[in-house]
């Protein structure tokens, strides 16, 4: 479900190939990249699972949340249905429609015309507060939908997390991403308002089977040991909800966690390479564990040097994060870097990581791992968590189904 059609890819690259064979310069290469093979990449919207979870992560992220201003179940249902109808247009690269008279405001706001779908995915999740309203409290509530406990190192701003309805919006083009945010917000006018809007770039975790690991803003390859989209059995054990006690709309769905994590980049960059590598437990250049030579060599957490010290230090990040340090618990990560400018208080970069992960049970999986990290991980010296969001993501939509009908079924 996560691949564009062969024909789209071939057509896009075919055009790029023709223009370059004709001796075109940089400008045409950029144009064709935007207009053709990137633009033409479409991700299916409907299916068993929502897209944007095991879909290969593209370059741009918006993570937004709305708080509802309407109360009645009918109004909430209608808004959710309207959102899914518009998302079906957006992810197909179609203008929001139908067109109407020029004496009215256009339904499509226009900024992404000609840019195509650009691998856009829009993934919806419901926050705990959605189920605490008079007209929604009768709905079956997801069993594990609750705010996370507080961890050492948390410095949370409530306004940057939570929300009734959360959207993870990923795309290969930043303007397509903006257009999706804009279109969702427009439909919500008078019905719901944006609570926050986080923006990220440069995925930091490989998710697709053949994606290479990329580097985070600390300069290290990230997500090397992440689950991959072809690990179907592991995903069924880790990510997809299959628990008869959960609401039916959550079967084949999952729980999303988002943490905005600021990294103290200036402090980190001032550390020696030795210190950086001991903190992570990997070599910076290759991404290999300190006990290996290649990025994907499995770390040997028991290896000791000639003095009997662990080669991967007890405080190394990869030791604390390893399943073997967390009773085998795993999560599916999907992170993006962020750079929001300069912190006005310190004059330092306001930059770091939008950590996103998916799991069956936030408390048993993410919170257990985060508890280990907050107590043992040397990397905690270089970061602080600024926000926390938990949301229950429904299964994918069937043909002609809307998010409102699915939730209120």
Within positions 297 to 336, which residues make up the interface with a second copy, using CB under 8 A?
Answer: none
Binding to a second copy in span 272-301, by CB under 8 A: 272-274, 276-277, 284-285
Q: Residue 74: which residues within 8 A CB-CB, separation 6 or more?
A: none
Q: What is the H or E stretch that residue 333 is in?
A: strand 332-333
Q: Which of 355, 317, 321 is nearest to 336 (CA)?
A: 355
Please list the residues that pair with 154 across neighbouring strands. Answer: 385
Would you count residue 30 as binding a second copy (CB under 8 A)?
A: yes
Would you count residue 22 as binding a second copy (CB under 8 A)?
A: no
Number of Cβ atoms within 10 Å of the Cβ of 25 = 9
Select the span of 70-78, 196-204, 252-260, 298-306 touching a second copy (CB under 8 A). 196-204
Provide, rounded to whole angstroms, the least separation between the CB of residue 330 and a second copy: 21
Nearer to a second copy, 151 or 197 (CB): 197
CB–CB of 190/198 below 8 Å?
no
Among 36, 41, 122, 148, which residue sits at the site for a second copy (rule: CB under 8 A)?
41
Give how far Cα 180 sits from Cα of 38, 104, 139, 341, Å. 16, 21, 28, 23
Binding to a second copy in span 255-274, by CB under 8 A: 265-266, 269-274
Number of Cβ atoms within 10 Å of the Cβ of 308 = 6
Among 48, 152, 304, 342, which residue sits at the site for a second copy (rule: CB under 8 A)?
342
Give the angle 113-115-119 at the CA atoms, nearest 5°: 130
Q: What distance in Å separates the CA atoms of residue 364 and residue 369, rounded to the nearest whole number?
A: 8
Nearer to a second copy, 28 or 89 (CB): 28
Binding to a second copy in span 60-119, by CB under 8 A: 102-106, 108-114, 119
# chain residues binding a second copy, by CB under 8 A: 92
Would you count residue 13 as binding a second copy (CB under 8 A)?
A: yes
3-state secondary structure of 222: strand
Select the span of 184-192, 231-239, 296-304, 384-392 touching a second copy (CB under 8 A). 184-192
Would you count residue 17 as binding a second copy (CB under 8 A)?
A: yes
């Amino acid at each position: 479900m996560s691949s564009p059609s062969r024909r789209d890819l071939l057509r896009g690259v075919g055009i790029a190939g023709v223009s370059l064979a004709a001796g075109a310069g940089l400008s045409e290469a950029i144009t064709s990249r935007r207009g053709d093979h990137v633009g033409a990449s479409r991700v299916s919207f409907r299916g068993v699972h929502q897209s944007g979870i095991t879909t290969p992560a593209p370059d741009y992220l918006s993570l937004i949340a709305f708080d509802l201003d309407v109360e009645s179940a009918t109004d909430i249902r209608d808004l959710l249905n309207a959102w899914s109808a518009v998302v079906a247009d957006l992810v197909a690269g179609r203008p929001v429609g139908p067109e109407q008279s020029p004496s009215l405001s256009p339904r499509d706001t226009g900024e992404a015309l000609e840019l195509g779908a650009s691998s856009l995915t829009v993934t919806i999740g419901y926050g705990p507060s959605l189920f605490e309203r008079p007209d929604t409290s009768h709905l079956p509530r997801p069993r594990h939908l609750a705010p996370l406990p507080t961890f050492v190192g948390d410095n949370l701003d409530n306004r940057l997390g939570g929300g009734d309805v959360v959207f993870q919006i990923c795309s290969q083009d930043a303007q397509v991403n903006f257009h999706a945010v804009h279109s969702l917000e427009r439909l919500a006018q008078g019905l719901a308002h944006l609570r926050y809007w986080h923006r990220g770039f440069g995925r930091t975790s490989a998710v697709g089977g053949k994606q290479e690991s990329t580097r985070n803003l600390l300069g290290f390859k990230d997500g090397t040991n992440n689950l991959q989209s072809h690990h179907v059995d592991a995903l069924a054990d880790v990510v997809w909800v299959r628990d008869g006690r959960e609401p039916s709309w959550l079967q084949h769905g999952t729980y999303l966690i988002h943490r905005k994590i600021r990294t103290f980049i200036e402090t980190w960059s001032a550390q020696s390479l030795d210190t950086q590598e001991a903190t992570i437990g990997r070599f910076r250049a290759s991404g290999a564990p300190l006990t290996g030579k290649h990025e994907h060599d499995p770390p040997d957490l028991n290896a000791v040097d000639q003095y009997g010290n662990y080669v991967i230090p007890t405080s190394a990040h990869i030791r604390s994060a390893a399943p073997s340090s967390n009773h085998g618990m795993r999560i599916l990560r999907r992170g993006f870097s962020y750079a929001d400018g300069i912190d006005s208080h310190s004059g330092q970069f306001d930059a770091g990581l939008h950590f996103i992960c998916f799991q069956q049970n936030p408390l048993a999986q993410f919170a257990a791992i985060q508890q280990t990290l907050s107590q043992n991980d040397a990397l905690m010296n270089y970061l602080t968590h600024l926000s926390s969001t938990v949301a229950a993501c429904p299964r994918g939509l069937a043909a002609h189904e809307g998010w409102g009908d699915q939730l209120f079924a």
